[in-house]
């Protein structure tokens, strides 16, 4: 198995990581392989047939040129600073450089104990790896920045959570796994030289256009603010709830990172909490934009070693406007509105209020709207609303707005179809795939992977996946152990 490695991070000072070998799984076997993600490291569908594939991605064999490390970081968890976290169950094998000169971290998640495991066992279970595997690819299919997933390796190894489960390893690909918490660690441990070196490294590797600028650190921080605001706007527009927006789960590149108790909102509710462990609702859907700013404030404290306070405050002050601008742009696209006009925000706000009061499925409504003929008096999806009068009042306003734009109906439907998915990863879908996989049937994992890689296109025979969750599926509870 040949890779082209260029392990820039492991050539930094060992203060940033610990060298540690992964611990292989017992009796490993392939659960699922993502050929689309494999292309990122110049591989194709035959990659999983390599005789060393299972051993490498189960942690049993370190490929030539890899330098396995676990990264150190800290972070604010549920608003409370935790002095040291780090990769407690993950090993970064190395950085693969593809033919396009793109760098991809290849990381095993669930690959055993590290110096940062604390009281953990260093393992992941099949259940949690399937959830991250499917959701990271679903987010990519939706066009939302995210880490990617190459494969899942299962095993017979027993792992103890709320019950006995089997261990598994997810192989994650990302341009970088550096987090807000990476900077927080060096700030709070009073290591300013290391903090500056980390900032220089991020600029060298990912923002090289800033490298010769005298104000390169504020340029970096400005970019992180912009990327984070835009990322969360994308989450909100599609109805995605992360569930654990701790600062150590925030990517310095503005990627969706660390999928645990996530959820795609079904019945629209700003108070939706997807994480059963989030008792106070800190990370409820409607709180995500302000939590993004909280996490950026945590990062700003760390960057105060490099940037003056006034500049940091000025940068943070752009967050809200950036977020709102992107969010309303995306919502207008979901409504087929291309040329902004005064009053558009009110149309969006009134609609969201109606969806909330009527407990309307967010995804189904917008997909239905995207196929509506403007001259049709009674659209098929009006049955979603108990308050028919309220809905038709809004619909009249919306139709008048479309007429004011004088948009071509065919073009509008295509535009809306590209911004309103047919399929989202509802929790019951992941649960069904998990239950089958635990019995040795991985077919539903692969089916969902294919379906969610292109969520805007209706697939023949996949109508069941475009319907609301069954009642039992709406009652599913997902916690931090997921």
Active-site positions read 248
d(CA 254, CA 252): 6
Residue 478 is encoded by which pair of tokens?
Answer: 């997902």
- Measure CA 423 to chain center: 16
d(CA 91, CA 102): 20
CB 155 within 8 A of CB 26: yes
**Angstrom distances, CA of residue 104 to CA of 206, 223, 231:** 12, 20, 20
CB 445 within 8 A of CB 32: yes
CB 241 within 8 A of CB 235: yes
| Beta bridge partner(s), residue 71 | 17
Residue 385 is encoded by which pair of tokens?
Answer: 């609303």
468: CB partners within 8 A, 6+ apart: 266, 361, 364
| Beta bridge partner(s), residue 104 | 96
Residue 245 is encoded by which pair of tokens?
Answer: 């927006």
- Measure CA 454 to chain center: 16
What does DSSP say about strands 75-77 and 29-33: parallel, antiparallel, or unpaired?
Answer: unpaired
**Residue ranges with strand state E in 175-280:** 240-241, 263-264
CB 195 within 8 A of CB 187: yes
Q: Which of 56, 57, 38, 37 is nearest to 47 (CA)?
A: 38
Q: Which residue has the tokens 């969006």?
A: 348
64: CB partners within 8 A, 6+ apart: 2, 3
d(CA 365, CA 379): 11
| Tally of CB atoms within 10 A around 54 | 18
d(CA 421, CA 465): 11
**Angstrom distances, CA of residue 132 to CA of 22, 78, 125, 376, 430:** 20, 21, 11, 41, 10
Q: Which residue has the tokens 């189960």?
A: 58
Q: Which residue has the tokens 């942690």?
A: 59
96 SS3 class: strand
| Tally of CB atoms within 10 A around 202 | 20
């Amino acid at each position: 198995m040949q890779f082209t490695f260029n392990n820039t991070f492991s050539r930094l000072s060992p203060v940033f990581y610990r060298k540690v070998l992964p611990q292989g799984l017992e009796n490993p076997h392939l659960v699922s392989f993502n050929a689309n993600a494999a292309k990122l490291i110049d591989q194709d569908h035959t990659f999983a047939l390599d005789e060393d594939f299972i051993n490498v991605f189960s942690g049993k064999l370190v490929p030539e040129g890899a330098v396995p490390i676990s990264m150190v970081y800290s972070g604010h968890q549920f608003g409370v600073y935790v002095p040291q976290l780090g990769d407690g169950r993950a090993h970064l094998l190395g950085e693969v450089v593809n033919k396009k000169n793109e760098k991809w971290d290849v990381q095993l998640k669930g690959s055993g104990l590290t110096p940062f495991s604390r009281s953990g066992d260093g393992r992941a279970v099949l259940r949690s790896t399937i959830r991250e595997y499917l959701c990271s690819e679903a987010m990519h299919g939706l066009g939302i920045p995210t880490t990617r997933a190459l494969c899942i390796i299962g095993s017979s190894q027993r792992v103890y959570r709320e019950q006995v489960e089997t261990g598994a390893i997810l192989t994650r690909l990302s341009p970088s796994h550096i987090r807000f918490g990476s900077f927080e660690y060096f700030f709070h441990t009073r290591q300013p030289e290391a903090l500056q070196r980390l900032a220089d490294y991020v600029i060298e590797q990912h923002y090289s256009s800033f490298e010769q600028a005298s104000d390169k650190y504020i340029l970096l921080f400005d970019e992180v603010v912009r990327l984070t605001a835009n990322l969360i706007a994308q989450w909100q527009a599609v109805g995605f709830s992360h569930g654990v927006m701790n600062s150590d789960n925030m990517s310095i590149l503005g990627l969706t990172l660390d999928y645990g108790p996530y959820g795609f909102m079904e019945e629209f509710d700003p108070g939706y909490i997807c994480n059963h462990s989030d008792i106070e609702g800190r990370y409820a859907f409607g709180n995500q934009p302000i939590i993004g700013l909280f996490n950026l404030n945590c990062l700003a404290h760390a960057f105060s070693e490099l940037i003056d306070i006034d500049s940091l405050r000025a940068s943070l002050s752009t967050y809200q406007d950036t977020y709102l601008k992107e969010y309303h742009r995306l919502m207008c696209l979901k409504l087929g509105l291309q040329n902004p006009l005064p009053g558009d925000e009110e149309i969006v706000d009134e609609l969201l209020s109606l969806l909330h009061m009527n407990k309307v499925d967010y995804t189904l409504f917008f997909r239905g709207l995207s196929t509506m003929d403007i001259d049709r008096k009674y659209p098929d999806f009006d049955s979603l609303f108990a308050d028919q009068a309220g809905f038709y009042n809004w619909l009249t306003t919306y139709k008048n707005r479309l007429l004011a734009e004088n948009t071509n109906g065919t073009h509008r439907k295509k535009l809306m179809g590209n911004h309103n998915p047919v399929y989202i990863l509802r929790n019951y879908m992941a649960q069904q795939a998990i239950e089958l996989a635990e019995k040795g049937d991985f077919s539903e994992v692969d089916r969902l992977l294919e379906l969610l890689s292109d969520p805007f296109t209706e697939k023949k025979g996949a109508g069941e996946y475009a319907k609301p969750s069954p009642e039992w599926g709406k009652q599913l509870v997902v916690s931090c152990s997921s």
